[in-house]
Chains A and B, each alone.
Chain A
């Protein structure tokens, strides 16, 4: 009979799919092996040809690789820290917030404004300092905003970055997102793009368009046990780690955290259970925006300079990190951030700095081909 045969044609189809997956698998494994061999050869200082294609090996100091890995971790922590908030707003408020990147910018500018004001008190005009060196005045090294020269300024900056970003985010929620809370994810997403543009323009209007140096670097690099250590990077590392652990404890152990996870899981049931959903939403904004503001501030601490586009450019990486990790999971955001950050920096060994972002996104796509639901799938905010 023809009919059963027709129905059994699912098998060859499956086989074709399997075959294609197999081919992708072989390509991926071959590439990984080649890169691995190349990396070992480079570290060994050997160079050899495979007969066809590019020559493998070369010269790469272990310290240089370690440097790339370290920077990758730092960048990854920024992505992860910012990604936590993005992931939470996604799972609790049900929309992809495109203005999240500009919350980083908000934190960076407001936080550094205050940090510069404290660090450069008496050195420059207060308005010039508070608006993060817009206009003319003394340079970053004269102001001396560094963890060595004025730790108080840095700590105050972190706090102001968090507080101001929270205030801005709550204000935006009240004015824009809350009135359209029940309209579904797409209208909110589109609104958030508008918010992103408005926020960025406002920052540009207030602080100016100039890319400006911010931090002082004098004595920031120290020799510790034979290693050269950048104290700004260490600060970023420690603060990010502490915040991530705090978030973990908050979500797992506190009543509010559990309510947030419950709401991420099942909004209707949360309402039926008597969880005050609007209060949970507010808490989500406070935590997410606070982390975003601090991430923006720390990013500038490490980079030393900033401009009003900072968050907008980071947003794509943050999204990549969150999607890679499995959207809705804060652990996914952290893991995804680290993967994207590491690939972004370590790939510089092979590709020019114009293309390392491409490498990061290629890795994201490859991982998603295998785990479309992300690394930490199904572990929503838990």
Chain B
């Protein structure tokens, strides 16, 4: 790896006028991350991870508070999705720690992590196309002995179209509806933390807003959300806090609004 990282030197706190860093306990910039409240349910510390021998993430720190809505933005190939996959036990762990509700989970396989209350919606191929919509949702609760009918009801109330089409082959539905199937599946266990990988990818522009609104509502109902988004501006506008990831390291961390207002972030990652 070369040293010509995009990561600016200002990342350690100079970018913002001093003294503005932490109101309401939300952290500003890398130095302040450690000051994140104890209530954070997910803590990632100095995480190195990758795939096989290939290291993608280097010293990544990240926090998600209870019920918080956190976004990771950054250029293509920065390792945004890898952060999510690492939290969910889908990458090769190298060093560092991932704690969920105080418990170390960095070496756990996905099925154990589901039990602890995290669920994950991958970016691509996130449904079972040949199963019916309802069967897709049932699979979301596979680890339970019985399909939790109350959860199924709640998912249907959240996404009424899914109930209308519950017997339809999931693969025959439109892009937006598939995304609802995928989210519904992940909500079947009422997770405390929902990982969303590029939920707006491949959606028609008018559906993107709708999708973001739905994520807002899921978060309003108490589920913490950690989201990776290509659509960085919209994501930062909506989230509580954001992280900017470049070259496998996090460069900025702040509230979404402040990141949006930050000149460096705007110029380097949000296209001006």
Chain A residues engaging chain B, CB cutoff 8 angstroms:
255, 258-259, 261-262, 264-266, 268-276, 378-382
Q: How many whole Å from A92's CB to the nearest CB in chain B?
A: 13
Contact in complex: B111, A266 (CB < 8 Å): no
Q: How far is the CA of A294 from the CA of B140 in the complex (A)?
A: 35
Contact in complex: A269, B125 (CB < 8 Å): yes
Q: How far is the CA of A54 from the CA of B214 in the complex (A)?
A: 72
Q: Is residue B129 contacting chain A, with contact meaning CB distance below 8 A?
A: yes
B17-74 interface with A by 8 A CB criterion = none
Contact in complex: B125, A275 (CB < 8 Å): no
Q: How many A-B pairs fall under 8 Å by CB?
A: 62
Q: How far is the CA of A273 from the CA of B125 in the complex (A)?
A: 13
**Segment at the interface with A among B91-99, B130-138, B241-249, B258-266:** B130-138
Given A274-B110, A274-B111, A274-B143, A265 and B138 contact (CB-CB distance below 8 Å): no
Residues of B within 8 A of A378 (CB): 130
Chain B residues engaging chain A, CB cutoff 8 angstroms:
88, 90, 110-111, 114-115, 120, 122, 125-131, 135, 138-140, 142-143, 185
Q: How many whole Å from B138's CB to the nearest CB in chain A?
A: 7
Secondary structure type dominating chain B contacts: loop
Residues of A within 8 A of B110 (CB): 271-272, 274
Given A272-B88, A272-B120, A273-B185, A255 and B142 contact (CB-CB distance below 8 Å): yes
Given A271-B110, A272-B88, A274-B114, A258 and B139 contact (CB-CB distance below 8 Å): yes
Contact in complex: A274, B142 (CB < 8 Å): yes
Question: Out of A259, A262, A266, which one reaches B125, CB within 8 Å?
Answer: A266
Contact in complex: B131, A258 (CB < 8 Å): yes
Residues of A within 8 A of B127 (CB): 266, 269
Contact in complex: A265, B111 (CB < 8 Å): no
Q: How many whole Å from B86's CB to the nearest CB in chain A?
A: 13
Contact in complex: A273, B130 (CB < 8 Å): no
Q: How far is the CA of A261 from the CA of B169 in the complex (A)?
A: 13
Q: How far is the CA of A271 from the CA of B91 in the complex (A)?
A: 13
Residues of A within 8 A of B185 (CB): 273
Q: How far is the CA of A275 from the CA of B114 in the complex (A)?
A: 11
- Between-chain CB contacts (< 8 Å), 12 pairs: A255-B138, A258-B139, A261-B130, A262-B131, A266-B125, A266-B128, A266-B129, A268-B122, A269-B128, A274-B114, A276-B111, A382-B130
Residues of A within 8 A of B131 (CB): 258, 261-262, 265, 382
Contact in complex: A272, B125 (CB < 8 Å): no
Q: How many whole Å from A254's CB to the nearest CB in chain B?
A: 11
Q: How many whole Å from B183's CB to the nearest CB in chain A?
A: 13
Contact in complex: B125, A268 (CB < 8 Å): yes
Contact in complex: B122, A262 (CB < 8 Å): no
Residues of A within 8 A of B111 (CB): 271, 274-276
**A252 and chain B: residue at smallest CB distance:** B135
Q: How many whole Å from A257's CB to the nearest CB in chain B?
A: 10
Q: How far is the CA of A272 from the CA of B111 in the complex (A)?
A: 7
Residues of A within 8 A of B120 (CB): 272
